[in-house]
Amino acid sequence: MKGEWLHRQQGEQLLLFCNGWGMDTNPFLPLTATDLDVLMFSDYQDPGLNPGGASESASSFPAARLADLFKSYTKISLIAWSMGVWAGQQLFAPWAHRLHRAIAINGTLCPIDDRFGIPTQVYAATLAQFHEAGRLKFYRRMCNDRKILETFLTHQPKRSLASQRLELAALQEQVSCQPPEASLYSRVVITSQDLVMPTASQLAFWQGHNILSLGGSHFPFYRWDSWEEMLNALQ
C-alpha cells in the first residue's frame, strides 16, 4: 500500500482518502483543496504501508508516520471508495474513535462476493482478460457516462498494466469478508448505476446503516469541484 499527499497546506484538518483498485493520484487532479490536507492511499498489492526511505519522493508518506497523523491534526475525516472501503477498514479500524467522520463510497467489507460485492466469476474473468482493451472496458463500465469517461481518460492512472494486474491478483488472494457490524464507517454512499460493485449488492450488505443514495456510476467524483465540497455534500 502506498501513501501520497494530494494536497498539503499543513493546516489543521486532514482528509484521508483510500482509493480504488488500479488507481493513483492522476484521476483526482481536477479536485482542488483549500482548507484541507488530503492524503491518499492506493495500490493494495501489499496490505501494509510501504516503509519510508531515502528514495521516496516529497509527496510520499512513510509508514512510520501513520500514528503521528492523529497528533498533528485537530480534525481528521476518512473517505474510502470501491476496494478502498475494505482497505480503509483494515488500516484505520484501530483509529476509528479519532475520526471525525468516515464515509464509504461504492464499496463493502465483502468486496469479492456473490451476494455482497463483485461476483467471484466476474472478478476472475476481469483478471483473466486484463489487457489494454480489457482495461479500457473496465474504465468505461466504471464511468458509465461519455463526459465523465472523457475527463477520466484525460487524467487516467499512469500505472502500468502489469502493476494493475498484480494488484488485482493480490486482492483476490487477500480479501476476506467482515460483517457490517464491524464497520468504522458512519456514512455509506451508494450510486444507483454502479456496474462495478453492483448497487443491489451494496444495498444488501449495508441495510440498516446510514445510507445516502446518489445517481450516477461507480466513479462519482467529477460531480464535485473540491474535496471540501464533497465532504459537505456527503455528511
Kindly report the CATH number assigned to the domain that includes residue 89: 3.40.50.1820
62 or 220: whose pLDDT is higher? 220
Better pLDDT: 222 or 3: 222
| Complete edge-to-edge strand list for the sheet that includes strand 187-191 | 2-7, 37-42, 13-18, 75-81, 101-105, 187-191, 211-214
CA–CA gap between residue 106 and residue 65 (Å, rounded): 28
- Give Cβ neighbours of residue 22 (< 8 Å, ≥ 6 apart): 135, 138, 157, 159, 164, 167, 168
- The count of domains in the chain is 1
Residue 127: which domain range?
A: 2-234
Other Cβ atoms within 10 Å of 74 Cβ, number: 9
Query: What's the average model confidence in pLDDT over 194-221?
Result: 97
189: its cell numbers: 454512499
Higher pLDDT, 118 or 50: 118
Tens of pLDDT along 133-164?
999 999 999 999 999 999 999 999 999 999 99
Q: Which amino acid is at 57?
A: S
Using left for φ > 0, alpha for ψ between -120 and 50, and beta otherwise, residue 23 falls in beta
